Structure 1
Amino acid sequence: MSVLLDSPVTDQPRTSRHHGRGFWAVAATFLVAMAYSTVPAPLFPLYVAREGLSTFAITVVFAAFAVGVVVSLVLAGHVSDRVGRKTVLIPALGLEIVSALLFLTSTSLPVLVVARVVNGLGVGMITATATAYLFDLHTRHRPGASSRRFEIVSTAANIGGLGVGALVSGVLAQYVSSPLSTPYVVLAVLLAVSVAAVALTPETVVRSRFSYRPQRISADHGDRAGYVAAATGAFTAFAVFGVFTSVSPGFVAGELHHPSRLLAGLVVFLVFGGAALAQTVTGGLAPGVRRALGLGGQAVGVLLVVAGMQVTSFPVFLVGGAVAGIGAGVQFKASIGAVTAMAAPEKRGEALAGLFFIAYLGLSVPSLSIGLATRFLPPTAVMTWFAAVVLVLLAAVGALTRKR
């Protein structure tokens, strides 16, 4: 879920040691911020029990997060190149803290929706800014060194953080007396510590005057078939992520008869943990091989998920989630690489913005559709239809890739 940006004109580093410490401080901050965004996932069944919310209402709460992310990416995701990394990152962390406070004030549906929108606004600012900041700090700390450390750490903090947040939330919700408040308190404290850590980190951008405009979004970048294939791949990858962070905890508690919040968090952790690990270990593979692994992993994974629900087997469901997460992670990395390679340098931001816009549609639209469909059909039947649609989209990606 990150965007790699070219490093802008920067000031002279104070010392390599300061930038080295700053690199790890920003990496930890990035992980905490992304972890916070999945804290509600294992808690959704508790909200359902307390407020009598439907599965569709839960997916609306989840989709509100995606709306916030898209709005933020378009309006503010790119401005740190001009106003400074800290100038954007610290207020974004402040929004995350505000979101946590909102979750602590009420469990009503309107408050949950607003809290998730604010959460999304913060994450949209953080993903691009923190990724660029890590790249800047890495190059100041180790001039001329390979970017491998940056790639591994930024991926682990970004995608891995999503899994860590759900797992930590699930553990706390399982074993503390206030499961709907303690996870938010813990993450709010960590976010406050992160603000202090970023404040002490050297700035890497010289502030300059510029004429503000929202980030342009474009899908016209020469290789139309290639762009459509990459965008469809990103859509399906985020569809898998969205389903596992919105409705899968309810499926685990209901259809699979495992109400444990720890297990709900573990499912989300395995999906995102598998995605992060796969993105890291497949970095050296050829684009075609990476795309094939992503397509195959997602296809096998969603089939296993459906099979697990059909036979009421939590282990099969769990393995399916992990395999689907691996495939989705590789698939998304392949899409980012394809778009980055095909777009002209001066239009790379537009191309990636368009890709992320479509990806976040994948994060929200399928989840909302599943939530609505479960009001009329059994959840297992709905997931079967979801798997069928994903397989069709994956086949389309494969056909378009071969056509190129």
Structure 2
Amino acid sequence: MSRLGYPAAAAVFAIGMAGTTLPTPLYGLYREQLGFSELMVTVVFAVYALGVIATLLLAGNVSDEAGRRPVLLAALGFSAASALCFLFEGGLPALFAGRLLSGFAAGLLSGAATVTVLELAPPGRAARAGLAATAANMGGLGCGPLLAGLLAQYAPWPLRLPFLAHLALIAVAALLTWLLPETVTSGVRRFRLRPQGIAVPPQVRGVFAPCALAAFAGFALLGLFTAVAPAFVAETLDVHNLALTGLVVFTVFLASTAGQALMGQVGERRALPGGCFVLVAGLVLVAASLLLASLPLLVAGALCGGLGQGLAFRGAVTAISGAAPAEHRAATVSAFFVVAYLGISLPVVGVGALTLWLGLRDAGLVFSGCVLVLALGVGLHLARRPGSAR
């Protein structure tokens, strides 16, 4: 297992993250079954982000003390509990519980699994392991809707089989995790929840602000596709194939992975402003797809917007990690992720609220315009003052 350590850890990471987006193509079915509004869909989705943020703030570094393997197993346990909530769903409370547990799983995985992949990489393969961790994170998020959409469209039990399949994958991931080498070698293992708060050192704030705003805009796009895109596809574009819906969502995460992988070719200085401008182009395409009711334009928007989000996101993480003093680096990065996950939740709840007054298409246009202005403003600021992202 030592030679396959980091690919196996990446597989565990991907399986865990896939569960967090598994319900995405199914929200329309839940709406029909339970009779709630598009606003409630976005609120159910946003509960996930609250779980992630709470976990990052309370247990972001717990694997440093308790060990990587116990934390990964705990994350898989939360993921399995989430799947069971959806499997035996009996109304909105079960959906809320499932999404909250899913957020706990993602919060634990985002730190512990990333570090495990990097620590298990053989000497000389750190860059490859970093790409594997990125691909596992975004690839897993993209594979969740793809798997659920395919099973819901072409197999029986559309609201049950996706979660049964994921439980089987979690069992495989748990076995892999049990066989992984433990990379934390301290003799005393403790599990303590210590609120970390949000702290940004004064000397980093000039770098932190544009990076965090870029991440907010990029994650808002991801939130739109994972929470509201299925309704756009069905109601605005009149496409009711759940497998196709899952594929549309998959494309935005696939493009994000590609964008993060491209940063080495683009360069750290140009990645963040360039990513913002590509994100702007993606948002223009998303808005055009709503105006013209065009599925190809929506897919193009997903690809372009995801590419920009990935490029800007990796550039932002690199800039913040490099600017923060070593003694405050973990807290600064945690604060950055809190802002990012606020971006994935708050704007889509706003879209859900706007649908009650404007309808789905116009609410999507307002969202696209607001996020476009934010991304464009950050991109122009960084283009004029490139030192602010360094």
Please give the TM-score of this superposition, normalised by the length of structure 1.
0.92
- In structure 2, the partner of 1:164 is 143
Structure 1 position 204 matched with structure 2 position 187: no
Match of 1:96 among 60, 68, 79: 79
Structure 1 position 74 matched with structure 2 position 57: yes
Q: Is the Cα–Cα contact under 8 Å of residues 276 and 375 in structure 2 kept in the other structure?
A: yes
Structure 1 position 151 matched with structure 2 position 130: yes
User: Offset of 1:235 from its aligned partner?
Assistant: 0.4
Structure 1 position 130 matched with structure 2 position 113: yes
User: Are the structure 2 counterparts of residues 336 and 110 from structure 1 closer, same or farther at C-alpha, using a change threshold of 3 Å?
Assistant: same
Q: Classify the secondary structure of the residue corresponding to 1:19.
A: coil
Aligned-CA RMSD value: 1.4
- In structure 2, the partner of 1:53 is 36
User: How big is each residue's C-alpha offset from its partner over 1:248-280, in whole Å with a ceiling of 9 and x where there is no partner?
Assistant: 101100010001101110111000000011211
- In structure 2, the partner of 1:176 is 155
**Residue identity opposite 1:165 in structure 2:** G
- In structure 1, the partner of 2:327 is 346
Match of 1:311 among 289, 292, 302: 292
User: Offset of 1:132 from its aligned partner?
Assistant: 0.5
Question: Aligned partners of 1:386 and 1:200: how far apart in 2?
Answer: 45
User: Offset of 1:341 from its aligned partner?
Assistant: 1.0
Question: Aligned partners of 2:327 and 2:133: how far apart in 1?
Answer: 24
Question: Aligned partners of 2:380 and 2:201: how far apart in 1?
Answer: 20
Question: Aligned partners of 2:298 and 2:380: how far apart in 1?
Answer: 28
Structure 1 position 247 matched with structure 2 position 228: yes
Question: Aligned partners of 1:384 and 1:101: how far apart in 2?
Answer: 36
User: Are the structure 2 counterparts of residues 159 and 193 from structure 1 closer, same or farther at C-alpha, using a change threshold of 3 Å?
Assistant: same
Gaps of 5+ in 2: none
Q: Classify the secondary structure of the residue corresponding to 2:64.
A: helix
The answer to which of 147-156 and 389-398 deviates more is 389-398
- In structure 2, the partner of 1:12 is none
Question: Aligned partners of 1:70 and 1:151: how far apart in 2?
Answer: 23
User: Are the structure 2 counterparts of residues 107 and 266 from structure 1 closer, same or farther at C-alpha, using a change threshold of 3 Å?
Assistant: farther
User: How big is each residue's C-alpha offset from its partner over 1:294-341, in whole Å with a ceiling of 9 and x where there is no partner?
Assistant: 112111111111111111111111111111111111111111111101
- In structure 2, the partner of 1:288 is 269
User: Offset of 1:90 from its aligned partner?
Assistant: 0.5
Q: Is the Cα–Cα contact under 8 Å of residues 268 and 315 in structure 2 kept in the other structure?
A: yes
**Residue identity opposite 1:103 in structure 2:** F
Question: Aligned partners of 1:22 and 1:55: how far apart in 2?
Answer: 42
Question: Aligned partners of 2:263 and 2:379: how far apart in 1?
Answer: 19
Q: Is the Cα–Cα contact under 8 Å of residues 59 and 193 in structure 2 kept in the other structure?
A: no
Q: Is the Cα–Cα contact under 8 Å of residues 259 and 307 in structure 2 kept in the other structure?
A: yes
Question: Aligned partners of 1:106 and 1:212: how far apart in 2?
Answer: 30
User: How big is each residue's C-alpha offset from its partner over 1:186-211, in whole Å with a ceiling of 9 and x where there is no partner?
Assistant: 00110011111101111110233677
Match of 2:218 among 194, 216, 237: 237
Question: Aligned partners of 2:41 and 2:330: how far apart in 1?
Answer: 33
The answer to which of 204-213 and 177-186 deviates more is 204-213
Q: Classify the secondary structure of the residue corresponding to 1:374.
A: helix
- In structure 1, the partner of 2:345 is 364
User: Offset of 1:221 from its aligned partner?
Assistant: 4.2
**Residue identity opposite 2:44 in structure 1:** V
Q: Is the Cα–Cα contact under 8 Å of residues 252 and 314 in structure 1 kept in the other structure?
A: yes
User: How big is each residue's C-alpha offset from its partner over 1:120-139, in whole Å with a ceiling of 9 and x where there is no partner?
Assistant: 0011001100011111111x
Bigger proportion of residues as helix: 2
**Residue identity opposite 2:250 in structure 1:** F
- In structure 1, the partner of 2:97 is 114
Q: Classify the secondary structure of the residue corresponding to 1:315.
A: helix
User: How big is each residue's C-alpha offset from its partner over 1:274-297, in whole Å with a ceiling of 9 and x where there is no partner?
Assistant: 001121132343223212331121
User: Are the structure 2 counterparts of residues 212 and 32 from structure 1 closer, same or farther at C-alpha, using a change threshold of 3 Å?
Assistant: closer
| Number of aligned residue pairs | 383
> After TM superposition, where is structure 1 displaced by more than 3 Å over at least 4 residues in a row?
207-212
Question: Aligned partners of 1:137 and 1:146: how far apart in 2?
Answer: 10
- In structure 2, the partner of 1:105 is 88
Q: Is the Cα–Cα contact under 8 Å of residues 221 and 343 in structure 1 kept in the other structure?
A: no
Question: Aligned partners of 2:152 and 2:252: how far apart in 1?
Answer: 19
User: Offset of 1:212 from its aligned partner?
Assistant: 5.6
Question: Aligned partners of 2:263 and 2:132: how far apart in 1?
Answer: 14
Percent identity between the two aligned chains: 37
Gaps of 5+ in 1: 1-17
Q: Classify the secondary structure of the residue corresponding to 2:200.
A: coil
Question: Aligned partners of 1:180 and 1:346: how far apart in 2?
Answer: 47
**Residue identity opposite 1:151 in structure 2:** G
User: How big is each residue's C-alpha offset from its partner over 1:71-115, in whole Å with a ceiling of 9 and x where there is no partner?
Assistant: 111111211111110111101101100110110111511110111
Matching of residues 360-399 of structure 1 within 5 Å: 360-399=341-380
Question: Aligned partners of 2:93 and 2:197: how far apart in 1?
Answer: 31
**Residue identity opposite 2:19 in structure 1:** Y
Q: Is the Cα–Cα contact under 8 Å of residues 290 and 365 in structure 2 kept in the other structure?
A: no
Question: Aligned partners of 1:316 and 1:169: how far apart in 2?
Answer: 23
